[in-house]
Amino acid sequence: MNFTFSFSSLLSLSTAFALAPLFMGVIVKVKAFFGGKQGPPLLIKYYTLLKLLKKGSVYSSSTSFVFQLGPIISFVTAVMLLLFFPFAGLQPVLSFHGDVVMLFYLLGLGRFFSVLAALDTASPFEGMGAAREVFFSALAEATIFIILALFFRLSGSLSFAEYFTGTQVLTLWSESAALIFLVLIALFIVLLTENCRVPADDPATHLELTMIHEVMILDHSGPDLAIIEMGAFCKMLFYSAFISCLLFPFHSGTPVFNAIVFTIIMTLVYAAIGLVESITARYKMDMVPNFILTSFALVFFAIILTMEFVQ
């Protein structure tokens, strides 16, 4: 295992962590723009977090400690994700061979505990949301692991650090452009699904019956809700950074320049999410698996192609 406690790595990690809510503000702004509204300020998510942290938490008497454990574990796993991620081509804080597999299981662990917390409330709505969440992410997992298998074939490695740092990086601007293109589209679909965005799920919906993720956290309040939100921001940041790395055109340049370009690409990815949310409607619940399976089919195409072209 490699520990890299260099200044730049720690700086990039903390910057990413600090900027996660800001990027979410970008989505809100883009949606407001397409709705013809001015929208809330860009820093809205920081205000929301502060507001929630100031409040106290309310726990139902029928819940157990599992209910309180859920938010904490999901937050911690989400932050751990960022430790492994090479932002802007810098060495991540932690990396070892096979860390990609662990990363996605960390995500799974967080999800498992938030599902447990939801079930702990014994509310029928939350149970329904949990069932949907697990179903859809299980489908998305198929896509993720095919992508990992594909990346293994392309680079011979199972570590994020090796995918995106050094000289032989995976980007859209290389030999295997066609494959990366398909992966990009698939990853974007996974991003939308895993982070409960339109068209798989609508975070702004009003009716519990139509929710997936939001309904699971209905009973959380105050600081608990704040760390759940923050965990969600980190997860979103992780996926967007993943996509941005694949789009990242050059890996030479000075670190500062790289960081600026990377931030711009990140902003564009978030803006794209906002754009998709503005121009599409949420799918009927029975069309969501179809949507996710498309991403699977895309990466399946890609991996079939690698069997052939990258020996």
Partner 1 sequence: MIHISNILLAMILLSVLLSLRTNRLMALVKLMAFQGVVVSAVPLFQTTAHGINVNLILFFILLVLVKGLFIPGLLFIAVKRVVSNREIEPIIGYHASLFAGLIMIVFSVYVTNHLHLANLASSHKLLLVSAITTMGAGLILLMARRKAITQVIGYLVMENGIYLIGTALAKEVHTQYVVEFAVLLDLLVAVLVMGIVLNDINHTFDDVDTALMGQLKD
The residue ranges that bind partner 1 (CB under 8 A) are 172-179, 181-182, 185, 287, 289-290, 293-294, 297-298, 300-301, 304-305, 307-309
**CA 93, 97, 102, 103 torsion-angle sign:** positive
Measured from the CB atom, is 53 or 287 closer to partner 1? Answer: 287
Least distance in angstroms from the C-beta of 132 to partner 1: 18
Measured from the CB atom, is 76 or 297 closer to partner 1? Answer: 297
The C-alpha angle 218, 219, 220, rounded to 5 degrees, equals 95
Question: Side chain identity at 49, as an amino acid letter?
Answer: L
Least distance in angstroms from the C-beta of 169 to partner 1: 15
| Token output for 170 | 């995976």
Least distance in angstroms from the C-beta of 65 to partner 1: 41
Measured from the CB atom, is 107 or 299 closer to partner 1? Answer: 299
Least distance in angstroms from the C-beta of 178 to partner 1: 4
Least distance in angstroms from the C-beta of 289 to partner 1: 8
Measured from the CB atom, is 125 or 301 closer to partner 1? Answer: 301
Least distance in angstroms from the C-beta of 92 to partner 1: 28
Cis peptide before 199, with omega less than 30 degrees from 0?
Answer: yes
Least distance in angstroms from the C-beta of 176 to partner 1: 8
Least distance in angstroms from the C-beta of 75 to partner 1: 35
Measured from the CB atom, is 35 or 249 closer to partner 1? Answer: 249
Measured from the CB atom, is 173 or 250 closer to partner 1? Answer: 173
For the chain, the three-class secondary structure string (H helix, E strand, C coil) is CEECCCHHHHHHHHHHHHHHHHHHHHHHHHHHHHCCCCCCCCCHHHHHHHHHHHCCCCCCCCCCHHHHHHHHHHHHHHHHHHHCCCHHHCCCCEECCCHHHHHHHHHHHHHHHHHHHHHHCCCHHHHHHHHHHHHHHHHHHHHHHHHHHHHHHHHCCCCHHHHHCCCCCCCCCCCCHHHHHHHHHHHHHHHHHHCCCCCCCCCCCCCHHHCCCHHHHCCCCHHHHHHHHHHHHHHHHHHHHHHHHHHCCCCCCCHHHHHHHHHHHHHHHHHHHHHHHHHCCCCCHHHHHHHHHHHHHHHHHHHHHHHHHCC
